[in-house]
A and B are shown apart, each in its own frame.
Chain A
Amino acid sequence: MQLEQGVGGPQTLYDKIWNSHRVMSRDDGQDLLFIDRHFIHDVTAQSFDLLRERGLKPRSPERIFGTADHYVSSAANDMSAVTDPERRAMIVALQRDAAASNITLFDMDDSRRGIVHVVGPEQGLSLPGMTVVCADSHTSTHGAMGALAFGIGATEVAHVLATQCLWQRKSSNMRVTFDGTPGPGVTAKDLILAVIARIGVAGAVGHVIEYRGSAIAGLSVEARLTLCNMSIEAGGRAGMIAPDDTTFAYLAGRPFAPKGEEWDRAMAHWRTLFTDPDATFDREVHIDVAGIAPMVTWGTTPEYACAIDRRVPDPALQADPDLRAAMSTALDYMGLAPNEALEGVAIDRVFIGSCTNGRIEDMRSAAEVARGRHVASGVEAWVVPGSHEVRAQAEAEGLDRVFKEAGFQWRFPGCSMCLATNGDIAAPGQRCASTSNRNFVGRQGPGVRTHLMSPAMAAAAAVTGCLTDVRRLLGA
């Protein structure tokens, strides 16, 4: 616990945001935090039901923004393409609940619609110093803007709707320092997979992670969003990066970002949002980025990841019996043998998209690999932009043509195959090269084998038909 550090002395970025949002404290040590921004999507119906049951209405609709992402079709941007009545009902409920409370909704016909964690930063809704919540664990994404952002459950959503606040016990502070220069073909996705492989999927449980270091300073905001997105995959409550000139340049001119005098005032505050030099962390991890190769997962948790040029680990070398059993079960599910080379494992499906890797830089990175090549025979490859704005920008740059000429399907924004709630699943036994965030058993459909990787790596898998070291295709 960092409660002492928060008072008077040096503070971390997390301490600062926490302290400036504390409404009151409870005897048991929990603080009531004021929530600046609440994102809702089409899995929020049950929370509004909870509110209605009590005869309550959202306290601060102006702080809430909604978008449909989980249940929308990726085949067409149209409600008529959402044929399953239960899925349709989830979107309709969002539309009804937003309208009833004057909540701004990026609805089906809105050019700003997309995956909630792509749209928030894109629209300038997620700002440095904010507290941001959403009923989705990947809300950690918004921490890349210098916000404290975390996922909450349905009951907590109802609580935020009713009170615009949330009781929380402060997490511990953890810092991951990335130094060095990434090699060719190494992206933010590879950095975060390397962190999770190092510390494990429970490595940051009970912690909020701050990422810093020369390699972070060199990352674009979009890359930082990818990094913070998967903080939850290390068990972290949130991930965050202190805002800097890169952040401010990204935000300037965004539709909902402050303007004019408000911008100047905001900047004065944002400049104070950094970890004080003497502040201490409960846990520190240092990573030399130069040592990271393009990563791929081989198992059924994001921790089961390694460099593409490595072999499948051998459970027999794992001393702990529970971990050994878990590895063996994972390899059985994945249809992989110990010591098998990862490069060359044949794939059936490719999914490029999600709140992790559905942004314009991801599209560009995948298109660079796809350009002038063709999806391998027998492989079905999808590109699902994270938002309409990403889709439009990609089309303006001609990336859609690159993908289509290479044999990729160019689809409509939403969560799609990341968690397959909209019905975008692969067939049992199929192997999918995916830029999403979770390779859990059954995540992309029952029996589907998911390999997580960067957009460039996924594009490389698409055009070769197997897990491939993208550096070969980049001429590196």
Chain B
Amino acid sequence: MESLTHLDAVAAPIVVINCDTDQILPARFLQKPRSDDFGQFLFRALRFGPDGTEKPEFVLNQASFRESRIVVANHNFGCGSSREHAVWALYDYGIRAVIAPSFGDIFFINCLKNGLLPIVLPETVVLPLLEYLTTKAGSRISIDVPAQSVTLPDGASHAFEMEPFAKQCLLRGMDEIDYTLSHRDRIDAFERNRADAY
């Protein structure tokens, strides 16, 4: 996992509410090997017509948003499937943070396992921000992970919550498997001592 400490980048607004994992990464690409660039499949049906040509109206196809590394989204972003491929698609495209008022539970967890930072900010901040980014295309947002702070284009800073462990993983670019394996003895003991063993 790649570490992330600071990010200052163009933010693309995805205005639709309940943007589900099938929109982020359609199921027909689940069969692709991880070595593929999943970024090409990101928002496939929204980004491209059936013949593969770009839809000019889609945000990421507009010149000022092509270098986006942050997505700002509406409520319940990433609802639906557990497919981690949805996170890979965003990540491979170059997105390192998603800001939304709420996320699908599994998607949120999957983000943190892949170095994609999901940030929950209040609806009262995000909904006006979506509108701002739409009208002022190419606006940048700055994220300071150690300080857990987001600075919006208008200069206002907002603190965000982050679990300490997930934060350390993101700052150091490490994942949980090694950490958990270091507690192997406790897992083994738990399994041996269980009263309701299956």
Which residues of A from 137 to 170 have beta carbons under 8 Å from B? 137, 139, 150-156, 158-159, 162-165, 167, 169
A102 at the B interface (CB under 8 A): no
Listed stretches B2-10, B108-116, B140-148; interface member: B108-116
Give, as a whole number of angstroms, the nearest-CB distance from A308 to chain B.
23
A438 touches B198 (CB 8 A): no
Give, as a whole number of angstroms, the nearest-CB distance from A87 to chain B.
5
Task: Given A28-B165, A205-B105, A237-B105, decide whether A70 and B30 contact each other with a Cβ distance below 8 A.
Answer: yes
In whole angstroms, what is the CA distance A301 to B22 when docked?
Answer: 11
B94 at the A interface (CB under 8 A): no
Which residues of A from 25 to 44 have beta carbons under 8 Å from B? 26-30, 32, 34, 36-37, 43
In whole angstroms, what is the CA distance A329 to B50 when docked?
Answer: 19
Taking CB atoms, residues of chain B closer than 8 Å to A154 are: 84-85, 110
Which residues of A from 426 to 469 have beta carbons under 8 Å from B? 428, 438, 440-443, 446-447
Residue of A nearest to B27 (CB): A419
In whole angstroms, what is the CA distance A137 to B27 when docked?
Answer: 13
Q: How many residues of A contact B (CB 8 A)?
A: 75
Instruction: Tell me which of B32, B81, B163, B181 contacts A28 (CB under 8 A).
Output: B163
Taking CB atoms, residues of chain A closer than 8 Å to B28 are: 420-421
Instruction: Tell me which of B33, B82, B105, B177 contacts A206 (CB under 8 A).
Output: B105
A412 at the B interface (CB under 8 A): no
Give, as a whole number of angstroms, the nearest-CB distance from B48 to chain A.
10
Listed stretches A5-13, A127-135, A280-288; interface member: A127-135
Residue of A nearest to B34 (CB): A46
Taking CB atoms, residues of chain B closer than 8 Å to A23 are: 183, 186-187, 190
Which residues of A from 49 to 67 have beta carbons under 8 Å from B? 49, 54, 56
B15 at the A interface (CB under 8 A): yes
A202 touches B18 (CB 8 A): yes
B23 touches A440 (CB 8 A): yes
Instruction: Tell me which of A70, A127, A153 contacts B109 (CB under 8 A).
Output: A153
B165 touches A136 (CB 8 A): no
Q: Is the interface of A mostly helix, strand, loop or mixed?
A: loop
Residue-wise, chain B 33-73 has the 8 Å CB interface mask toward A (1 for contact) of 11000000000010000100000000000000000000000
A421 touches B22 (CB 8 A): no
Taking CB atoms, residues of chain A closer than 8 Å to B196 are: 20, 129, 269
B102 touches A441 (CB 8 A): no
Q: How many residues of B contact A (CB 8 A)?
A: 57
Taking CB atoms, residues of chain B closer than 8 Å to A201 are: 18, 76, 79
Taking CB atoms, residues of chain B closer than 8 Å to A32 are: 180, 183, 186-187
A322 at the B interface (CB under 8 A): yes
B198 touches A36 (CB 8 A): yes
A235 touches B175 (CB 8 A): no
A86 at the B interface (CB under 8 A): yes
B80 at the A interface (CB under 8 A): yes
A408 at the B interface (CB under 8 A): no
In whole angstroms, what is the CA distance A20 to B198 when docked?
Answer: 12
A71 at the B interface (CB under 8 A): yes
A442 touches B45 (CB 8 A): yes
Instruction: Tell me which of A46, A127, A151, A428 contacts B106 (CB under 8 A).
Output: A151
B16 touches A326 (CB 8 A): yes
B186 touches A24 (CB 8 A): yes
Give, as a whole number of angstroms, the nearest-CB distance from A260 to chain B.
15
B165 touches A137 (CB 8 A): no
Which residues of B from 96 to 137 have beta carbons under 8 Å from A? 102-106, 109-110, 113-114, 127
Instruction: Tell me which of B20, B82, B163, B177 contacts A158 (CB under 8 A).
Output: B177
In whole angstroms, what is the CA distance A333 to B101 when docked?
Answer: 26
Task: Given A158-B177, A441-B22, A442-B45, decide whether A428 and B190 contact each other with a Cβ distance below 8 A.
Answer: no
A474 at the B interface (CB under 8 A): no
A3 at the B interface (CB under 8 A): no
A127 touches B190 (CB 8 A): no
Instruction: Tell me which of A130, A137, A163 contacts B80 (CB under 8 A).
Output: A137
B155 at the A interface (CB under 8 A): no
A205 touches B76 (CB 8 A): yes
Q: A153-B83, A156-B110, A269-B195 are in contact. List 7 more A-B contacts (CB 8 A).
A: A137-B82, A154-B84, A167-B180, A201-B18, A201-B76, A205-B105, A421-B30
Could you list some 12 contacts between A and B, CB below 8 A?
Answer: A32-B183, A49-B34, A139-B82, A152-B109, A167-B180, A205-B79, A232-B80, A235-B76, A322-B17, A438-B80, A442-B26, A443-B27
The 9 closest A-B pairs by CB, nearest first: A155-B113, A151-B82, A153-B110, A153-B84, A154-B84, A202-B76, A440-B22, A137-B82, A86-B31
